[in-house]
Amino acid sequence: MMLRRSVLSHVVALAMLGGATLVGGLVATPALALDKIRVGVLATGTAKWEMDTIIRNKLAEKFGLELELVDLGTKLTQVIALESQAADVVLTDYLFTSAQRNQKADYTFVPSSRAAGGLIARPESGITKVADLKGKRIGIFGGPDEDNFVIFRAYLKKVANIDVEKDVKISFVGGAPLLNETILKGDLDAVINMWNFNARLRAVGYKDVVSMPEMLAALGVSAPPPLLGWVFSEKWAKANPKLIDGFLKASLEAKKILLTNDDNWKAMQGLMGAQGNDALFIALRDAYRAGIAKSYGKAEVDAAQAIYSVVRKESGNKGPETLAPGTFWSGITFNL
């Protein structure tokens, strides 16, 4: 009896020292700690939908990770978050990634979305085709140096011989919500906005005139290019292979769910800002699905280079002739 008590006391002591507890007389060790990865996404951005899918389906835990979301306000704060190491990964575009590498940063890019906006018009505008744009008021999200405007300008010149500086009235608007508000008030005839804001206009009867992929195809870019992706430090990724591999696997599993599982989408209807509005909900869901990057390999890298070449040419051949080496991360390829 004394021997049993002595052994049991020894087990209890070891359990206390190791942080374990006794359950039903047996030693239960605590669950292994998960490795934390900090992902920076825009607080009101659509990347939150994929993050919500990862969280609700416990995909991070499946790959041994704890997902910490870092809410960001603007594209500029994405840059700051990476530079200050407030986030390990952010969602941004490959043109930014290439520009940063040309400035000696080591950021690298894995495609996540090919969702793109396009030109959408008021039903009363009389615009049904590109040739109808002459004399119309067109709102553009961003500024005159943004790639969406540069591509639009080149497209109009090529397919309709329209000079945007002479033949249409262009207004640049810095905020996507404000651009939608402006056209809804009737102060514009058509807009080029972010895809999700175009989807909101589509849900209330606005008509697509030409999509960004159609513009690119007319300019010689036939393959669907990846536009947004997960960006992170190459040095950090090499030092933390479990973190980046686990996160990208969780991201890909979430994409598969988003492509096929309608119930997962219904659970996010409030998060999408579409509670009680099924038309808007379906418009956002279907547009998001269409924009998911379903593959990543040489074809996607070539398409990205083709866009870069178009933008560079239309911007007066400024900057390097090609994307910076290493812009696209070689540590993964996929085909959903």
Phi, psi of 125 (to 5 degrees): -75, -20
Together in a domain, 52 and 7: no
Q: Residue 19 has what pLDDT?
A: 39
Distance, C-alpha 333 to centroid of its chain? 17
Which of 178, 203, 218 is the C-terminal boundary of a domain? Answer: 218
Residue 323 lies in a domain: yes
Q: Residue 244 has what pLDDT?
A: 98
- Looking at residue 202, its amino acid is R
Contacts of 331 (CB under 8 A, 6+ apart): 237, 244, 245
Which of 218, 240, 268 is the C-terminal boundary of a domain? Answer: 218
Residue 54 lies in a domain: yes
Q: Residue 32 has what pLDDT?
A: 58
Please tell me the distance from the alpha carbon of residue 232 to that of residue 107, in angstroms, as a whole number: 5
Together in a domain, 296 and 327: yes
Question: 3-class SS at 28?
Answer: strand
Under DSSP, the state recorded for 105 is -
Together in a domain, 26 and 41: no
Q: How far is the CA of 250 from the CAs of 13, 48, 87, 336, in angstroms?
A: 39, 14, 17, 13
* Regions of the chain short of the pLDDT cut 70: 1-32
Total domains, the chain: 3
135 — alpha (psi -120 to 50), left (phi > 0) or beta?
left
Please tell me the distance from the alpha carbon of residue 221 to that of residue 161, in angstroms, as a whole number: 19
Of 76, 78, 92, the closest CA to residue 230 belongs to 92
Together in a domain, 268 and 208: no
Q: Residue 73 has what pLDDT?
A: 81
Give the strand pairing for 89-93 and 228-233: antiparallel
Single pTM value for the model: 0.85
Contacts of 60 (CB under 8 A, 6+ apart): 34, 37, 54, 66, 67, 246, 247, 250
Structure-token pair, residue 217: 């195809």
Contacts of 80 (CB under 8 A, 6+ apart): 86
CA dihedral (84, 89, 92, 95) in degrees, to 10, reads: 80
Together in a domain, 260 and 311: yes
Together in a domain, 192 and 254: no
Range of the domain at 321: 35-114+225-335
Beta pairing partners, 233 = 107
Q: Residue 43 has what pLDDT?
A: 85
Residue 119 lies in a domain: no
Together in a domain, 229 and 110: yes
Q: Residue 289 has what pLDDT?
A: 97
Q: Residue 34 has what pLDDT?
A: 87
Together in a domain, 82 and 110: yes
